[in-house]
Amino acid sequence: LWNKAHDAYIKSELIDNINKLEKSLEKANLLVDHKSVYLANMSHEIRIPLNAVLGMLNMLKKTNLDNDQMAEVEIAQYSSEHLLQLVNMILDNAKFDDEATDLNLVVIDLESDLSKLFKVLEYQAWDKNLDFEFKFLSEKKPKFLLLGDLSRIQQVLINLINNAIKFTHSGKISITIHQTVSNDDNQIVTFYVKDTGVGLSPYEVGKIFKTSKNDDVSTMQHYRGGGMGLSISYKLVKLMGGELEVESKENEGSIFYFSLQLKKTLNLKTEAKEPASDLLNKFDYKFSVLVAEDNKINQKVIKFLLEQQGADCTLVRNGLEAVKLYNILDFDLIFMDIYMPEMDGYEATRTIKATDKYEKNNTPIIAVSASAFEADIKKAKLSGVDDFLAKPIETERLKELLVKYSPQNQSK
C-alpha cells in the first residue's frame, strides 16, 4: 500500500511539475514575443526621424554651400550615418542570443566600403585631440572584390574603434586592413585596431570577451572596454569564421585584431560592376512613380531623392489614395509605405494586385519601411510586394531598384 501511495504521490508531483514547466514555457514565449514587438517598434520609431535627418542633409548638400558649410554638413551626415550603424548594431545584437543568426553575404570593396566608416570615427578621435590613421595593405595587385557580411564587419570595427577612442587619452588610433592571398578562390583579410591607451592587465585580457548580458553596469565598467560591445564582437567574428584576439600591456596600449577568409569575386580593374547612376543616365527615361507615404517630411525626402534620379513623382498619403490613383493613372513603379492610416501598405498592395489593370501591366510595387527586420521583409513580400527599401533610404539602393525595375529591364 505504501508503495502504491508513494508512486501515486510521485506521479502527482511529476504531473504538477510538468504543468508548471508548461506554464513557465508559455510565459517565456510570451516574453520573447513582447521583446520582438518592442524591438520592431523601437526600430521603426528610431529609423523614421533618421530617414528625415539624412534626407534633409542630402538635400542641403545640393544647395549652394561654401567649403566650410559643406564640411559641416558632411560631418552631420557622417555622424547621422554612424548613429544609424549603432542603431542597427543594437537591434541586431538584441536578437543575437535569441535566434539563429545568418550571415548576409554581399560583394565588398574593402577600401571603398570601409573608408567612409573610418571617416565618421575619425571625427570622434579628433574631438579628443587624438591622431587617427587608417591604411589598406594588399600583398598582391590588383585588389579583388570579396564576398562577406559587410554589416557585421562594420559592427565589429565600430565596437573596437569606439572602445579604442574611449580609453585613449593621448596619442594615436591606427587601423590597418591587410589582405593576403590564401588560394585562387579566397583571401585572408586581417583587421587591426591599435591604440596608445590605458592598456589591459593580464586579468582583464582573460576577462575582456566574456562579459554576459546578465552582468550589471558596474561589472561592465570595472575593466577597460568591458561590456556587451566586445562580447558581441567576439561572437560576431566567430560567426564569420574568425577569432577576435587582443595583445595589450597596462599603460602602453592595445591591439585588437581578427582574420577572416573571404571568397574572391570580381577583378576590380576588368570586371567591376557598372554603377547604378551610370546605368540610369544611359536609360534617358523619365520614370513615372507613385509614392504612398503618410509622413510629410519623409514625403519630401523620397520625392527629392526620386527627382534627383529623373523620376516624375506623385505623392499620396495612404493606401486608399494609392489604390484610387492607380486605377486612374499609369505608373512605371510604386513605392508603398507599410504603416499608413485608412489602408496600410499590405492591404493596398493586395488590392492593387487584384485589379484587372494590374493583370495587364504588372506595375512593380516596392515596400518602403522603417521596420526592416528579416521578419518584416518576409511579411511584406508575402503581401505581394516585389522588393523592399529600408528607411533611412540609401541613395545607391534606390538607384539599384530604379535600374532593376526600369521599363527597359522589365521588357527584357
**106-271, which class in CATH?**
alpha beta
8 Å CB contact between 389 and 335 = yes
**Gap between the Cα atoms of 162 and 152, Å rounded:** 15
Residue 138 makes CB contacts below 8 A (sequence gap 6+) with 178, 179
The predicted structure's pLDDT at residue 8: 61
Q: Positive or negative, the Cα torsion across 206, 208, 211, 217? A: positive
As annotated, the residues of the chain forming the CATH 3.30.565.10 domain(s) are 106-271
Q: How many helices (H) and strands (E) does the chain have?
A: 16, 12
117-175 pLDDT tens trace: 888 788 888 889 999 999 998 766 666 788 899 888 988 998 899 889 989 999 999 99
8 Å CB contact between 389 and 401 = yes
As annotated, the residues of the chain forming the CATH 3.40.50.2300 domain(s) are 276-410
**Gap between the Cα atoms of 179 and 177, Å rounded:** 7
CA angle 374/379/383 to nearest 5° reads: 145
Angstrom distances, CA of residue 327 to CA of 110, 290, 315, 405: 46, 12, 15, 20
Note if the pTM is more than 0.85: no
In Å, how far from its chain's centre is CA 276? 20
Residue 36 pLDDT class (50, 70, 90 cuts): low
Angstrom distances, CA of residue 339 to CA of 229, 292, 313, 347: 32, 10, 20, 10
Q: Give the whole-number percent of the chain exceeding pLDDT 70.
A: 74
39-63 pLDDT tens trace: 666 666 777 787 788 888 888 888 8
Helices within 309-364 (DSSP H only): 319-328, 345-353, 356-361
Domain 2-94: assigned CATH number: 1.10.287.130
370-391 pLDDT tens trace: 877 777 788 888 889 999 998 8
As annotated, the residues of the chain forming the CATH 1.10.287.130 domain(s) are 2-94
CATH 3.40.50.2300 is right for the domain spanning 276-410: yes
386: enclosing H helix or E strand: none
Locus of grid cell 570580381: 266
